[in-house]
Structure 1
Amino acid sequence: MRRAVLGALAAVVVAGCGLVPRLTHEEPLPVLRNDAGWRARSVLAPTTLGARLVDPVAEAVWVADGTVPVAGPRTDVTAQALRDLHALTRPNGAVAAGPDGPWAYAWPRDSAFVAVAYAETGHEADARRVLDFLARVQLPDGGFEARYRLDGSGPPDDRPRQTDGAGWVLWSLERVRAVSADRVLPPALRRLRDRAFAFSMAQTDGGRRLPEVSPDYWEVSERRVTLGTAAPLAAGLEAASRTFAAEGDGGRAGRAAHAASGLRALIRSEFGPDYERHGHTGGLDAAVAMLMPPFADLGDGAAERAWARYPVLALRGAGGLAPGVDWKSDGVSWTPETAMVAYTAAASGHPLVAEHWMTWLERHCTSWGSLPEKVLPDGSPAGPAPLAWTAALVVLTESELAARQAGVDASVGLG
């Protein structure tokens, strides 16, 4: 593990020493799509004058009704991320990935992380709304479309389904259950869980094969199974095992655990030890973080070493990360992948690594404090801002760091 930590910290050294090569731009760089007035102009904006006047007050009350996790000097960015999540969430529980354009749709993946961020900050009713929306749009076989219209009427186009959604939903349900008052999944959400579990079992033949080929968070067509599709299903099956066990359902808990174990073994066999995107090709990408806590228990040393190498090899000019080592060389950093490394570092006992990436994210917010999707080589924000997935990951990372700090403080007090 010491080697893994040193490898992850090497990213800081590389950036600081100016060792990032100059990159050529093969296409125009993205621009910042939104400004500080995005709330008033986006498709999510209140439609009446009264609602627009009341909304800021209601939002302040909403934030105060929960907890803004604070482990360091980042109160403002974490609170802003929470407010942005609230503004991106419709009353029916649909969470827009971003304020406008092709981002103004609900991805099950993003929604799953937002639900956990709500639950862990004391906004359980909001977490429930998001999960209820996913239950309403879930397909009969238990899977999900790639994305949905915000009114829940279905997908906006014919892009292929994304299999990872079911795994992320199972993981989200378990995290929400774990922080609930009675530690039991509400009965109304069990059908969502049961169908997603059935889908995950069918996709993997009970852990005996990798899932079918599907696009993942890269949002591109695939001809081979990616780590970004397989890893979330393993995480979901493990999570389902804990959820079933909490209900005293030993039979299904055992089935889920057995399937997860089999799928983990297949992932190690087919993707390890280098954990490239398509197994032994495609380059190391951010999906390796999905093999780390809180998505998996520590224990696969090769995966941990690959996770430590990824930030070094995927580093971009402004100090953030590309989605993968073989991503196009445009020098653009992506905040969701950077935040995913921060989250998994915090959850796996590497607080200094998490602090580094959280500080970078904080320093590359927009002028009004929202987290953008991308950061250009010169350090300026680009793409839609805010981005729901990044905002949720920042809240969750801060929550992990705060919980760790509370544990340290408590142990010091006992001493």
Structure 2
Amino acid sequence: MSKCCGVSPCTCRVTAGTGTTVTGNGSAANPYVVSATGGGGAPTVVTAGDTDTIDATVSGTGSAADPYVVSGAVKLDPTPPQGGANLIGVGPEGLFLECADVRGCLSAMGPATYDPATGTIGTKISANAGNTTVVGTDGGIYTPASATALQAVDTNTVDMTVTGSGAAGSPYQVAADVIVAPEPNGLEETPNGLLVAPSSDSGNQLSIGGDGRLFVPPDPPLSVGCGLKGDGTSGAPLAANPARGSDPWASHWGCDATQYSTLRCDPNTGLLWTPPEHYSASDYLYQEHMNPSIASQGTTGGWVALKPGGVAAFVQMAIPANFLGNQCRDWGYETHVHASIDITANSTATFELGYILQVNGATVGPRPIEAVYTAYGASRRERYAGSVSHAFYRIPAGTARQVVFFPAVNVTAGSIAINSWNSEFTMHTQTRD
């Protein structure tokens, strides 16, 4: 570098590192100039963050020639939430709020007065007759002293009297007489004061106790009926007498006792009651239908009930109204019919076997069990077995129900003989909530 900054350009090599720049050629007229461009780190980033009340703005690039300029403008709500006008304004010297704008927001109540034109607040003096309140010489409210007035006010129990004028020579005298109602009354006025004396009538248990106060001895023991225990005293209060004694609800049930316990008291009769007991019943019926058998059944054009000997075959269960307590609770039932069927089919026969369901005299529809949809091609005899079910719930209390299953076939081609058809019918009924 010893030859640098001479007349000729310098032959030394100067290179710029990270974050710097090099200009010039090392001569006296154009020397090397090394300058920094930020220290090698990331440039400073300045962003504006607005708030509900300030609108912030950042300008400039952050360089020496173009520095960051952060400014903020106050936000004024043009539509205040309550629907009024925004009284705050912006002037050359900042925010302002004019007194004249605020005056319209004020009002006076009661004895106060207010002039919205001047903003003056004052006090109104009543013009009613007898009012002695005025504005004093010091500008304050002033009520001059007046003569003491004393007046007697009676009540339902005391008769008040006032005598005298209140002067030194005739002072006020206030007297009170207790008023005793004329009806039969245990309270009486005596020369020594008020008195309550027990009656001398026969059988009266009221007396004066050892402490000088009224005393009534305890009643004789109560006569306790069935299901109760105790004698009604504080030591043995009258209570229900369950056969199995006391038992906490929480020891057996995790649900809330007030919501799920069924014991209640009828406020109209004062009697304890619980909902009617639940009842259930079951029945079973076995029926052989084909007596005589049906030797030949051709195509039917749909489901038909079988009529051996010209009489329709069926199994049924009838539940009368008010059966086993269902006069109080809704109830439901479940039925199940199992069939064992002996069929001889000719070579072209296609058919379905099942039952036609009828409830309360109304046909519900077929309930298929077995079917042959492709003819065997030769006459053959087979035994078929299967089951159908039917159930119904939430039947209104006191409602009867009749359920009938009719053995039925649907022969779509050829013919069949029904050699035997046996039905096993079960029904289960139970009351509901």
Please tell me whether Structure 1 or Structure 2 has the larger radius of gyration of its CA atoms: 2
TM above 0.5, one fold?
A: no
Bigger RCO of structures 1 and 2 (CA < 8 A, at least 6 apart): 1
TM-score with structure 1 length normalisation? 0.17
